[in-house]
Amino acid sequence: MKHPILLLELLIVAYFSDSQAENSFSQYWEEHIDLLHPPYWLAAKASPLNLHQTTMFMKLMDGNELSSHLHSFCKQANVVCSTNVVVKKTTTNDTTLPPIAQWNAIRAEYDRVPKEVSSRGGLQFFRESMMKDGGFISVPDLRDPMSYKSFLPRSLSSKIPFSFARIKELKKIFGVADESNMNKFIQDTLKLCEKRPNRCEQSICAISAEDLIDFVVEKFGHNVRVWSTENVDGSYENVTIGSVKLIHGNLSQPPALCHSLPFPFQVYYCHVLQKVKIYDVDIYAREKVNHMIMACHYDTSTWNPNHLAFKLLGFGPGLIEVCHWMNENGVVWTKSLG
């Protein structure tokens, strides 16, 4: 049963939502992170819902009536509720790029991915020795397939049944059909988030901006540095390598790597792994310069022997270091030395 009063309230408060929601994220950031401002693209992912809208949607969710207002919820919260959506828009105007890859997050297993297929469209994993000034490398698709989606406020995301055991309830909330791309995205994300971490690995799936900030503070304290790839220029290109600068080389203080996952709302898979170095790399793509972040793992002994990196590079766990780019909306956190 629909509530006309609730619906009217939602329409009214939509006019007053612009600054209040953004200020809520900024305030939480300022209270916990000793950096003046979050990265612009991370701030853009703050939920656009203000307190009044959040309260109204919480009432609908508690009454199992959110589906009756799904269109309004998805539009105002800037989340994905289409049953078969892959891409709403991209962050590049380059129409020469091929269709966007469905998911570029670093997955846990690649048991059935043949080498000749996985190497198409750029090298996803490579050796540190391959990154020399003046050299060449083939860059994979750096784009986030759903870069536009926002976080949900923690008060709402905490009510979402974020569990594979309750996937039917979750799909019902967002109107996701069984035979759809979004259904596959949801399954993959939940499996990754519920996967047991490797030895010496700490991981979390942050389903709100507050969860992400809390995780960072727990691991590093309030004084942190934030690193991210500047843009998606160079995707699917053979690029020239420019300067390669080590920006985090302390193997005793591992960074946190956070990858954006495909899901109706913004979710980050963050993990802290031992013996990781972070580099800032300039690449020259079609006469444009992109400043990219590269992570190199020097302890691969606990990785799956069927990991795509070993199929591409021809070695096994613990025998080589493995490097990869941080894709669009990916972020690296390190403890600030200042």
Q: Which two tokens stand for residue 6?
A: 């609730």
Of 182, 198, 201, nearest in space to 190 by CA: 182
Predicted TM-score (pTM) of the model is 0.84
Alpha-carbon distance 67 to 114, whole Å? 41
Instruction: Mention every residue, 6+ apart, whose C-beta is less than 8 A from residue 248.
Output: 225, 227, 255, 276, 277, 278, 332, 334
pLDDT of residue 179: 85
Give, rounded to a whole angstrom, the gap between the first and last alpha carbons of the chain: 56
CA 162 distance to own-chain centroid: 16
**Which residues 6+ apart lie within 8 Å of 18 measured at CB?**
48
How does pLDDT run along the chain (338 residues), one tens digit per residue? 445 444 445 444 444 444 555 568 888 999 999 888 888 888 999 999 999 999 999 999 988 888 888 889 999 999 988 654 544 444 444 545 555 544 444 443 333 334 443 445 789 999 999 999 999 999 999 999 888 899 999 999 999 999 999 999 999 888 888 888 899 999 999 999 998 888 778 899 999 999 999 999 999 999 999 999 999 999 999 999 999 999 999 888 899 999 999 999 999 999 998 899 999 999 998 878 899 999 999 999 988 899 999 999 988 999 999 999 999 999 999 998 76
Q: What's the token pair of residue 113? A: 């991915």
Residue 116's alpha-carbon distances to 121, 308, 313, in angstroms, are 11, 11, 12
